[in-house]
């Protein structure tokens, strides 16, 4: 990064975690904007949050699929997860021109505005997502093998989680009620009740 302009670094953030391209772009854009005192138009702020939250769905959906695959439920759960993931990646591709390495956020906004049908397509995905979660829960939560491999295994005490700087769902699973979106209220997360 030392040999690049700030803008040339954005594609590198895509590759920090290739399931979280949009979120990583956002984190970097927010840091540079704060450093430089750049204001972001309201529309762009909402677009950024939509993309970040869609990224969260992509990430968590794939994570569950991979976990189940690794626990022995070979391929079917991960394929179900990827089926849902693909719907969101279709939106990313239509908006940013890329499915995974989106290079979408810009200082002061986003690279491109949303396609005219974006919100309708996104709403359709979000409305159907709970039925995917219900289906996944029905298939897995009473599965004896899954339960025996996951319960009382890999327990991370809250003190260790905090001292090891664990974040996100793993921190909350350790019993620490901390969601950076709610606590730090970065971007425009303070406008949402979730």
Q: Residues 95-139: pLDDT tens digits?
A: 999 999 999 999 999 999 999 999 999 999 999 999 999 988 888
pLDDT, position 77: 85
Q: Determine what percent of the chain is predicted with pLDDT higher than 70.
A: 100
Band of the pLDDT at 86, cuts 50, 70, 90?
A: very high
pLDDT, position 54: 96
pLDDT exceeds cutoff 90 at 153 = no
For tokens 């569950």, the residue is 64
pLDDT, position 142: 80
* 155 Cβ contact list (under 8 Å, min separation 6): none
pLDDT exceeds cutoff 80 at 194 = no
- Residues 53-73 have a mean pLDDT of 89
Dmax over CA atoms of the chain, in Å, equals 54
pLDDT exceeds cutoff 80 at 90 = yes
From the number of C-beta atoms within 10 Å of its C-beta (0-12, 13-18, 19+), residue 93 rates as middle
Count the alpha carbons within 13 Å of 85 in the hemisphere toward its beta carbon.
Answer: 22
pTM across the whole model: 0.90
* Strand ranges (E), the chain: 105-106, 109-110
Round the average pLDDT of the chain to a whole number and report it.
Answer: 92
pLDDT, position 19: 87
């Amino acid at each position: 990064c030392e040999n690049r302009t700030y803008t040339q670094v954005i594609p590198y953030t895509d590759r920090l975690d290739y399931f979280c391209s949009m979120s990583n772009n956002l984190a970097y854009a927010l840091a540079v904007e704060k450093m430089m005192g750049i204001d972001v138009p309201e529309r762009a702020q909402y677009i950024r949050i939509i993309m970040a939250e869609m990224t969260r769905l992509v990430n968590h959906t794939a994570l569950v699929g991979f976990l189940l695959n690794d626990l022995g439920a070979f391929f079917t759960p991960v394929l179900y997860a990827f089926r849902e993931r693909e719907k969101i990646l279709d939106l990313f591709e239509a908006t940013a021109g890329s499915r995974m390495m989106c290079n979408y956020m810009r200082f002061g906004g986003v690279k491109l505005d949303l396609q005219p049908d974006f919100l309708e397509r996104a709403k359709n995905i979000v409305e159907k997502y709970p039925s995917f979660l219900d289906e996944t829960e029905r298939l897995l939560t009473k599965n004896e093998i899954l339960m025996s491999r996951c319960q009382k295994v890999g327990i991370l005490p809250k003190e260790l989680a905090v001292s090891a700087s664990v974040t996100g769902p793993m921190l909350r699973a350790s019993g620490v009620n901390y969601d950076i979106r709610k606590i730090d209220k970065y971007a425009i997360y303070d406008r949402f009740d979730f």
